Amino acid sequence: MSLKLSFCIIVKNESRNLNRCLNSVKDLVDEIIFIDTGSTDNSIDIARSFGAKIFKFTWINDFSKAKNFALEKASGDWILFLDADEELSASSSQQLRPLIESGNADAYRLIVRNLQPMEDLVPFIDTRITRLFKKSPEYMYEGMIHEQITPSITRNGGKCEDSEILVIHYGYLFKETQSGNSRAQRNLKLLQLALNEIPDDAYLLFQMGSTYKSLRQKEEALHYFHQSLQYSASLSAETLELLYMKLAQIYLSNHDDEKTMHFAKLCLSINPNNIPALYAHALTEYSVKKYQEAYNSFEKLLSLPVLSDEDRQYISQAMEMIKESF
């Protein structure tokens, strides 16, 4: 008997994104659990057109409570969670069912590809986040913001593995819009509330820095990133990689070659294929006239299969320019 898969989503005023998101999963899941936290646009009408089961949830400044409410309403054996500004990639659609039927794990970390605005120098940043997991009363989200379910899974003996399922996240492309800024301001307030209770939480400090970075407030971002570094022993390798990468990006934009190189190297020591860190490393090497090293870094970037044709063309042109400096 085939396992039942529930798709869960938390929504407020997401009519701009919903069709794309729901279209990406509608033929792959057995039910859509749609939790509305106070939409005033036509989000609910869109959800209804996809046959979603719609539930209202009074927003209480806590994402975990909203997501755990969704888990209560889901009837599936497995749960897939996406945000409204995300979609499951078409290339991953055929991987979903075999993965949950395999019995190899209790949860899977999906690749979330965060598309970046042009000024960030890189087309995307990949992170791995647990979004696909067995339904169990012991598995619950924790944290009022940037909520996580992995701790409760591992604490209860569950096995969590990486997968190659790809989710595309569009939200950072719109962070300069009014809706993007309002979300960031909301997140700052929730993060501050959480930090008032746990002021030395490295993960919350990292997320505070990330939110300020998304608002282009670099000094505030650096302040919280460096605070996070003080307590970094508690961070996962994935989060520490992101912390180093974001520090490298900010220092690159500040034209601080020494600090850019320092944090890019730290990031690459965790993941040698981190694309933004490789970019930062290559550009800084070129800036300090280490042309051979810059050429080698761009060459490594060119070898990565995930780059678009436009990125490959840009890198090839950069390599030709560097050759002229030898």
pLDDT of residue 305: 79
Lowest model confidence (mean pLDDT) among 4-8, 126-130, 157-161, 226-230: 126-130
For residue 180, name the pLDDT band (cuts at 50, 70, 90): low
Region 299-320: what's the mean pLDDT?
80
For 53-95, write each residue's pLDDT tens digit. Answer: 999 999 999 999 999 999 999 999 999 999 999 999 998 999 9
pLDDT of 176 above 70: no
- What's the CATH class of domain 5-173? alpha beta
HSE-CB at 211 with a 13 A cutoff on CA atoms is: 22
pLDDT-based confidence at residue 119 (cuts at 50, 70, 90): low
Nearest to residue 92, comparing CAs of 34, 33, 141, 132? 132
Span 82-109, average pLDDT: 95
pTM: 0.81
Beta strands in 151-286 (DSSP E): 160-169
Per-residue pLDDT tens for 3-41?
999 999 999 999 999 999 999 999 999 999 999 999 999
Q: Tell me the pLDDT of the chain averaged across its residues.
A: 91
Q: Contact, 84 vs 18, CB < 8 A?
A: yes
Say what the pLDDT of residue 121 is: 63
Residue range 233-249, pLDDT digits in tens = 999 899 999 999 999 99
Q: Mean per-residue pLDDT for 279-300?
A: 89
Quote the pLDDT of residue 111.
93
Scored b (16 or more CB within 10 A) or e, 90-104 reads eebeebbeebbeeee
Question: 66 vs 306, which has greater pLDDT?
Answer: 66
* Strands across the sheet containing 31-36: 53-56, 31-36, 5-11, 78-81, 124-134, 107-115, 160-169, 86-88
**By the 8 A CB rule, do 243 and 235 touch?**
yes
Hey, where are the domains in the chain?
Answer: 5-173, 174-323
The CATH code that applies to domain 174-323 is 1.25.40.10
H or E stretch covering 114: strand 107-115
Supply the DSSP symbol for 272.
T
* Model confidence at 282: pLDDT above 60: yes
Cα–Cα distance measured from residue 249 to residue 267, given in angstroms and rounded to the nearest whole number: 11
Question: Is pLDDT above 70 for 175?
Answer: no
For 212, what's the count of Cα atoms within 13 Å in the CB-facing half-sphere? 19
Q: Which residues are within 8 A (CB) of 28 and not within 5 positions of it... i.e. 6 or more apart?
A: 5, 7, 88, 93, 96, 97
CA distance 216 to 196: 24
- What's the CA gap between 55 and 179, in Å, rounded? 23
DSSP H or E segment with residue 11: strand 5-11
Question: At residue 307, does pLDDT exceed 90?
Answer: no
* Residue 136 DSSP class: -
